[in-house]
Amino acid sequence: MTAIDLSDLTVWFGLGADRVDAVKSATFSVATGESFGLVGESGSGKSTVLRAIAGLIDSWSGDMRIADTPLGRRRTRAFYKQVQMVFQGPYASLHPRHTVDRVLGEVLKLHGFSDIDSRIDRLLDDVGLGKGFRFRYPHQLSGGQRQRVAIARALAPEPRIVLLDEPTSALDVSVQAEILNLLSDLRAERGLTYLMVSHDLGVIGHMCDRIAVMQHGRIVDLLGVDEMRSLQTAHPYTQHLLDSSVRAIRQP
Amino acid sequence: MTNLLDIENLRVRFPTRQGHFDAVRGISFSLRRERLGIVGESGSGKSMTGRAILKLIRKPGQITADRMQMGDTDLLTASDKQMRRIRGRHASMIMQDPKFSLNPVMTVGQQITEALRTHERISRRDAHARAIKMLDAVAIRSPERVMDLYPHEVSGGMGQRIMIAMMLIPDPEILIADEPTSALDVSVQLQVLGILDKLVTDRGMGLIFISHDLNLVSNFCDRILIMYAGRVVEVCQAGRLHEATHPYTRGLLNSVPDLEHPRPRLDVLKRDPAWAEAPSVSALT
């Protein structure tokens, strides 16, 4: 079964002469239960792919399917019950004047759950925060704790697919390790499908089974994690990225 | 060899409603003509250390130390006027994000020549020529064109190189680089570091490189200070970072996902309250 199937996806911004194609006929599919990574430099269009799937951009053409259901212009509530997204900046993605309780409660209410109270406690336990954090505001949390709340919010509707947009790039390496372990555990427990964007090849190599490399809006290479780890690839751009992130910096 | 900088028992203190908070708690180090790395998590006091050297701590923050000597100048007793002469001419600082540290309403050329004209008696034309040469040195193609651009018209990597050019043009002896490449892509990061490395080596400068990225620092620096909770917990030669013994350093090293040596789970740092209490390790030479 395929969880996400994109074919010939083009996403653009601006009209007429100002039109910029941020993603150019991207085609890939992600199997159910798989963890798929998108890498590339800033401006390569990797986040735009996620935002288009999540329905945050409506200027796109091509074909997008989630669990064999084609996506239209508008996303339904059923879609958001199936697909959720975790954003990059834990500082910007939580409402500064809403408590953790309200952030999670609102999502649960929107998705028609009735046992909201017990679900909030369970979600906080699942992401390793515990009940003590329930009535805190974002400014009373550290960056890692905020990202845990953002993950709890994404998990609230019990989605099958989670879109992760640079979930750890704003965090320290020690906190990054905690969040990556949490994401691995949650995927194993719930059989989730991840589509993850990162510019850090180390993170992608740790988390993903298959990787697509993007450059200037195009997918230029698709490879398995083993090929990536052995630093073997036919494509010069992928090789360049691998070299940059692995090889020593100082010239001998 | 003489030291460019000697700092003994530096403290940076901020008064708060619940008493005072010490961001830096009594650290000592010296800098030669070398690349000195300062690593630690956010909140470990590494940026505050960098800023304190140039006395760029905003009030009500206070800097105290037993000794702060930069060449012939005693930084502790230096007046604001003397500090302004030191900043740029003798020591300058590259900030993290060019988006927030370049002046958005001045062209690149104006900003670079301003740095030069503040410290030297130099004609407009000579300043312009020096600025172009400097932009060329940081590998900016068609520097003539870039001189007339505004910061929003250049990319992040270019902005960071412009900032490096601006900081190096008065030819300082000490360069403090606070996370100079964290906002950049890996491939651009390498390019910027390469340029920085070359300029620092060619000019025989002392570099303080502040970063949270241990691997980057171990590749790029000569000596590394590892900071935790405002103190230095370990000092080591960069090439020997992987032989580091302090559990905090080991924890940081093991929490980084490694492309070539995959592990099913990443090690999570277990913090020991004793680390924060242990006295700071001296890095004086």
pLDDT in tens, B178-215: 988 877 777 778 888 888 888 888 888 999 999 988 88
Residues on chain A touching B197 (C-beta within 8 angstroms):
249-250
According to DSSP, the β-strands at B35-39 and B223-228 are parallel
Residue A206: which pLDDT band, with cuts at 50, 70 and 90? Answer: very high
Lowest average pLDDT, out of A102-106, A213-217, B95-99, goes to B95-99
By C-alpha distance, which of A134, A147, A80 is closest to A104? A134
Per-residue pLDDT of B74-107, as tens digits, reads 999 999 999 988 998 899 999 877 778 899 999 9
- Do B219 and A245 lie within an 8 Å CB cutoff? no
Q: How far apart are CA A196 and CA A187, in angstroms?
A: 12
In this prediction, residues A199-205 reach a mean pLDDT of 88
Say what the pLDDT of residue B113 is.
93
Q: Is B44 an 8 Å CB contact of chain A? A: no
- Give Cα separations from A119 to A50, A93, A95, A131, A158 (angstroms): 27, 21, 20, 11, 11
Residue in B with minimal Cα distance to A42: B185
Q: Is A114 an 8 Å CB contact of chain B? A: no
Q: Is B199 an 8 Å CB contact of chain A? A: no
Q: Which residues contact A250 (CB under 8 A, 6 or more apart)?
A: B197, B219, B220
Q: Which of B237, B266, B272, B275 to probe by mutation at the A interface, max A CB count within 10 Å?
A: B266
Say what the pLDDT of residue B247 is.
92
In this prediction, residues A234-243 reach a mean pLDDT of 87
pLDDT tops 80 at residue A249: no
Q: How far apart are CA B267 and CA A168, in angstroms?
A: 16
Residue B1: which pLDDT band, with cuts at 50, 70 and 90? Answer: low
Q: Which of B160, B186, B200 to probe by mutation at the A interface, max A CB count within 10 Å?
A: B186
Q: Is A209 an 8 Å CB contact of chain B? A: no
Say what the pLDDT of residue A250 is.
41
Residue in B with minimal Cα distance to A202: B259
CA distance B179 to chain A (A): 13
In this prediction, residues A193-219 reach a mean pLDDT of 92
- Pick from B185, B194, B266: which is nearest to A177 by CB? B266
Residues on chain B touching A205 (C-beta within 8 angstroms):
257, 259, 262
CA distance B42 to chain A (A): 7
Q: Which residues contact B6 (CB under 8 A, 6 or more apart)?
A: B30, B67, B68, B69, B284
The whole-model pTM stands at 0.84
Enter the DSSP assignment of B281: P
Q: Is B194 an 8 Å CB contact of chain A? A: yes
Q: Is A232 an 8 Å CB contact of chain B? A: no
Residue in B with minimal Cα distance to A252: B219
Q: Which one-letter amino acid corresponds to residue A241?
A: L
pLDDT tops 80 at residue B238: yes
pLDDT tops 90 at residue A82: yes
Q: How far apart are CA B76 and CA B68, in angstroms?
A: 6
- Please state, as a whole number, how many other Cβ atoms lie within 10 Å of the Cβ of residue A142: 14
Angle between helices A143-155 and A100-110 (to 10 degrees): 20
pLDDT tops 70 at residue A141: yes
Residue A51: both structure tokens together: 């935002």
Q: Which of A206, A211, A214, A227 to probe by mutation at the B interface, max B CB count within 10 Å?
A: A206
In this prediction, residues A222-229 reach a mean pLDDT of 89
Per-residue pLDDT of B107-119, as tens digits, reads 999 999 988 888 8
Give bridge partners of residue A66 from the DSSP assignment: A4, A69
Per-residue pLDDT of A5-58, as tens digits, reads 999 999 999 888 889 899 999 999 999 999 999 998 888 899 999 999 999 999
Give bridge partners of residue A23 from the DSSP assignment: A11
Q: How far apart are CA A28 and CA A65, in angstroms?
A: 11
Say what the pLDDT of residue B150 is.
94
Phi-psi region of B142 (alpha: psi -120 to 50; beta: other; left: phi over 0): left
Residue B218: which pLDDT band, with cuts at 50, 70 and 90? Answer: confident
Strand (E) or helix (H) holding B10: strand B5-16
CA distance B158 to chain A (A): 14
Q: How far apart are CA A43 and CA A23, in angstroms?
A: 10
Q: Is B260 an 8 Å CB contact of chain A? A: yes
Q: Which residues contact B137 (CB under 8 A, 6 or more apart)?
A: B165, B168, B195, B199
Strand (E) or helix (H) holding B64: strand B62-64
CA distance B283 to chain A (A): 24
In this prediction, residues B13-38 reach a mean pLDDT of 92
Q: Which one-letter amino acid corresponds to residue B259?
A: L
Q: Which one-letter amino acid corresponds to residue B181?
A: T
Residue A242: which pLDDT band, with cuts at 50, 70 and 90? Answer: confident
- Do A180 and B41 lie within an 8 Å CB cutoff? no
- Do A231 and B251 lie within an 8 Å CB cutoff? no
Say what the pLDDT of residue A36 is.
96
- Pick from A184, A229, A249: which is nearest to B220 by CB? A249
Residue in A with minimal Cα distance to B270: A174
Q: Is B233 an 8 Å CB contact of chain A? A: no
- Please state, as a whole number, how many other Cβ atoms lie within 10 Å of the Cβ of residue B13: 18
Helices (H), A61-211: 77-82, 100-110, 116-126, 143-155, 173-190, 201-207
In this prediction, residues B4-19 reach a mean pLDDT of 92
User: Using DSSP, how many helices (H) and how many strands (E) does chain A show?
Assistant: 9, 10
Q: How far apart are CA A28 and CA A3, in angstroms?
A: 11
Residue A252: which pLDDT band, with cuts at 50, 70 and 90? Answer: very low
% of chain A at pLDDT higher than 90: 64
Q: How far apart are CA A151 and CA B26, in angstroms?
A: 39
Q: How far apart are CA A167 and CA A175, in angstroms?
A: 11
Start-to-end CA distance of chain A, whole Å, equals: 50
Is A19 exposed, middle or buried, given 0-12, 13-18 or 19+ CB atoms closer than 10 A? exposed
What are the φ and ψ backbone dihedral angles of A159, each rounded to 5 degrees?
-75, 165
pLDDT averaged over chain B? Answer: 89
Strand (E) or helix (H) holding A224: strand A218-224
Residues on chain B touching A244 (C-beta within 8 angstroms):
186-187, 189-190
